[in-house]
Chain A
Amino acid sequence: MLSDRVRRNLASEFRGSILAKLGVVLVLLVVFVAIFAPFVAPHDPTTQSLDNAERPPLGIVQTEQRTTSEMVDGEVQTVTETVTIRPDAAHPLGTDGLGRDMLSRVIYGARTSLIVGVLGTVLAATVGVPVGLIAGYYRGRIDDGLMRFADVSLAFPSLVLAIALIGLWGRASVAVPDPFVAAGFAQEMPETFVLPGTVIVVVGVVNWVWFARIARGEALSLRDQEYVTAARALGADDSRIIAGHVLPNAITPIIVLGTVQVAAIILLESSLSFLGFSGTTLSWGFDISQGRDYVSSGQWWIAGMPGLAIMVAVIGINLIGDWLRDALDPGIEGEGGA
């Protein structure tokens, strides 16, 4: 599928670019953490410990004024004292308002983001690429019709459409058993993790157009190539031509788009979770919305850590996307967004 020339380009670009290396490292880190979450996370991310709440991350000693109150004779009396909270090595990134471990939540959040990002992209590609290829190959009225439909889809900004669809269809999710815990490892970790099904379907549906356009463009330029016309002359079936000749040659820009899309969908998912439109509470966006109330009272890490996690993941993916684009074809309009 990837020709030798392409492979050589990839390798040489990679060697020459620090950023590409950095991107690969970051993405591998995120993927590793997401897959092996039960082993990497120090605690169960859902276990709360109310008297251990709001603990700062390592290296920061939090001194704050804390006001407690009690009712005496029908009146509220308050006591303000200066409280120093020291970090705890058991919670390197601190704890949130309910005492849950931030590091574990960030690690498990990677799972949600990656699953939604990858599955959503795969879904969008599965729908969009065939549509685009057909439109570009056959041209004429099929092309016109499909592209008009694409234009209409694009008229709805993805986030707005996603919110509307989730609002209408609900937030169905599936509790999938964690393979590692089921196999007997890491028994103190949650037995299932939540797959936000509706969200995955919605982000896929909302992003199919980008793949369709790229595929269409490729099909348009490839349909007149010699080997294609030759195959047709030989009486080969259209679908075999598309699948066997057009698609393999169109694959590189689709891959580049795919990486950009994963990044965009991760951002989209975090926005949806932030607004409360996700089917799971173990998500970076959700943690940011929870942490929002603590930012101004000084516990910045509750919202800060998940935000940094998003940045790390998306930067890594974007760097890989840049590497792929530089290596494969600098002229690609790869900026399909979400």
Chain B
Amino acid sequence: MYYIISKIELEGTDNLKYSDYGTTTDIEIVNQINEDYDSTLGAFLGENRTKIELGLVSVSTFFESTPFVYEARTQVDNVEGLEVLNITNLNEL
């Protein structure tokens, strides 16, 4: 099983943009990426979800201090033909 490492950036003023950055089979890398996500963008969305839906808060606020984050919560069983990096070390991100 492979994990897709997604790079998440701000798209326009109020949307998220996902792009495939790499793949890994290393569950320790996956867990570290997702812990980092949960403590940054994940925490921001958790605290502000309803306000964002109502237009009272913009997700752009988060990206004022952080240009992008990674998340690895997509599992696939075939990466043939995907033109992405094979990540074996967190320093490659």
Do these two chains really belong together in a complex? no
Q: Which residues of A contact B (CB under 8 A)?
A: none
Q: Point out residues on B near A: beta carbons under 8 Å.
A: none
